[in-house]
Structure 1
Amino acid sequence: MTPRQVEVFRAIMRSGSVTGAAGHLNLSQPAVSKHLSLLERELGFVLFERARNRLVPTLEADALFEQVEALYGGIEELDRFAQALRHNNHGDVTVATLPLLSHRWMPSVLGAFAAHHRDISLSVPVRSTSWIARAVSAGRADMGVGLHSAAQRGVDQRVLMRLPLVAVSVPDHPLAGSGPVHPSALRPYDVVTLSNFEGAPLALARDLSGNLGRRRLEAFTVEFACEFARAGVGLAIVDALTAMHFAADGLVASPLQVEAEFALAIMRPTRRRSSQLASVIEAHLMEEAGATEAAVGRFMAAISGTP
């Protein structure tokens, strides 16, 4: 039994005649009849009864056709699967992210992508930058977004976006809305600072050194820091993107005059080829990050009092 013979048999069953099968397959009628005859000879039984110039399927033909249709259904499903892969509509992808983006930005960006790619599966672990780098390098994550650092090994880094730092507080705080804040202006006030989960000091610590009060107020996520500020505990030092989100909740942001910033980077494995779908997601993240940086720029101009 050859694929061509099976194709001819299927065409006859679906069209009901040799003529119809010949037209469907772009073959001559004698060629169709020959393939059918060879198939019946190889099978050892008759597939059609000839009655009044019509082909009437036998019980064996009906049973065989059911199996043939199941076979073609599988092939068509395989073809759809291959098309989905080609158009990046199928696959499993793990995108690890640091807590900074896990509250709103990453769920919004990846959520929009997943909504338009219904056949993909996404996993988004939220971890520290060092964990993300190790996971990407070891193949436990297809890509990750963390703080850019030259110390990360086994990953290639591409800057996703840079976020300036601001001081947020309740509207009645003495520094609220006062324009750019120099670190020395923080000394009389309680300040909520950020740490990370690895014990390594952030670059911000250098800029704030000697300008913080004796009271230690430390948060491990920017959302927690902002909630501290909203409770009236003190000023919180966070990134401008987070400050934008919390501005709607009544917090006031002021630019912080420091060199430190949050430089976020996409991490991909150095020694392993990533899937095409992962590359498409990376391009989507980069596009959304560009729009976000533009929005952050407008926000910073507004709170700085510059046109």
Structure 2
Amino acid sequence: MELLQSGLKLRQLQVFREVLRTGSTRRAAMALGISQPAVSQHVKQLEATIGITLFKRSANRIVPMQEAWELLRNIELALTSLDRLEASIFAMKNEERQRIAIAAPSVFGFVTLPRVVGIIHSRTASNVRSISGSYDQIGEHILAGRADLGISRLPLDPQLFEWAPLGSARNVCIFHPDHRFSRQSCIEAQDLAGETIVDIDPQFAAHQMNFNALRFAGVEPNILVEFDCNGHEAGYVSAGLGISITNEIIARENAAFHLCARPVEPSALYHYVAVWQKGRTFSNALKVSVEAIVAAFAPTMSAAA
């Protein structure tokens, strides 16, 4: 199958990707079920087609050059899009059986996404692919066609996305049940003086808001651990290593850790949505999936009331 007028072939890209994934032509050949010379030939044909040397060759070894890794990123996007095309064609033939790709922060895999999958499974023959990422990456997954739907937060660009509201949440402090905060109804910035803090990475807006509030109150944060993915704080807090600040919706994903939570002041307000690409035509399975996401959040929202 030729992809471009230049003669670039799908099989060449698939073989090239497998060589980089496995680290050798021998392992790539085993994974693809073809001979090692056939793998080498596909790689050479790819280099000749695009006019770029992708590997250094010496003593029966090939070592990827920087150009190979740069090409791989684009090939992954192209092959993912072709996979989505294949799945879309299959779904058109059999609408009830479709693979639904949902992008969401990994923390939603604890409670919410299992609820979503349970509802989808009970109402359709579709299966679900869960894709993790930051809120920015969720938008990228949707626009690139890697995900059909996402769980994200506002603001979003209305020229690119449409969404359905899931609920709003304010900040809370989470802590071990034996912590002194369990005797308080609300946690204020000055209460955190002397506390060991488990905090999200400085690149996140929540970090800046929390720390600005602390420093305004004259409290210098005492950070033990920084993490870069919502949900990771639960393990450290459960182990008694410190307290953390998150929001109500994220905190409820940590139900298995049996942590306590109290409102935090000052607080921000976060608006969660189910999101998809603007103008997207929905199959029945996608309609059910959006309804499933909304329904999965409903118990959380009623519990907050």
Q: TM above 0.5, one fold?
A: yes
Give the aligned CA root-mean-square deviation in angstroms.
2.8
Match of 1:201 in 2: 204
How far, CA to CA, are the matches of 2:163 and 2:282 in structure 1?
A: 14
How far, CA to CA, are the matches of 2:281 and 2:127 in structure 1?
A: 19
Native 8 Å contact 1:177 1:252 kept in 2: no
Match of 1:167, as an amino acid?
C
C-alpha distance after superposition, 1:124-167 (max 9, x if no partner): 11122222211212322111112222358622233322222211
Native 8 Å contact 1:168 1:176 kept in 2: no
How far, CA to CA, are the matches of 1:172 and 1:208 in structure 2?
A: 25
Match of 2:102 among 95, 108, 111: 95
Native 8 Å contact 2:99 2:128 kept in 1: yes
Cα drift, residue 280 of structure 1: 2.3
How far, CA to CA, are the matches of 2:92 and 2:106 in structure 1?
A: 35
How far, CA to CA, are the matches of 2:220 and 2:106 in structure 1?
A: 25
1:131 and 2:108 equivalent? no
Match of 1:283, as an amino acid?
E
C-alpha distance after superposition, 1:216-269 (max 9, x if no partner): 532233432121112121111123245446466442222112331442222211
Match of 1:112 in 2: 119
Native 8 Å contact 1:148 1:157 kept in 2: no
Native 8 Å contact 2:174 2:260 kept in 1: yes
How far, CA to CA, are the matches of 1:205 and 1:123 in structure 2?
A: 33
Structure 1 gap segments, 5+ residues each? 1-80, 298-307
Cα drift, residue 214 of structure 1: 4.0
Match of 1:147 in 2: 153
Q: Percent identity?
A: 18
Native 8 Å contact 1:191 1:212 kept in 2: no
Cα drift, residue 90 of structure 1: 2.5
Match of 2:284 in 1: 276
SS in 2 for 1:226: helix
How far, CA to CA, are the matches of 1:147 and 1:223 in structure 2?
A: 16
How many residue pairs align between the two structures? 210
- Structure 2 length-normalised TM: 0.60
Cα drift, residue 184 of structure 1: 2.4
Native 8 Å contact 2:101 2:129 kept in 1: yes
Match of 2:192 in 1: 186
Structure 2 gap segments, 5+ residues each? 1-90
Match of 2:263 among 245, 255, 262: 255
Native 8 Å contact 2:171 2:268 kept in 1: yes
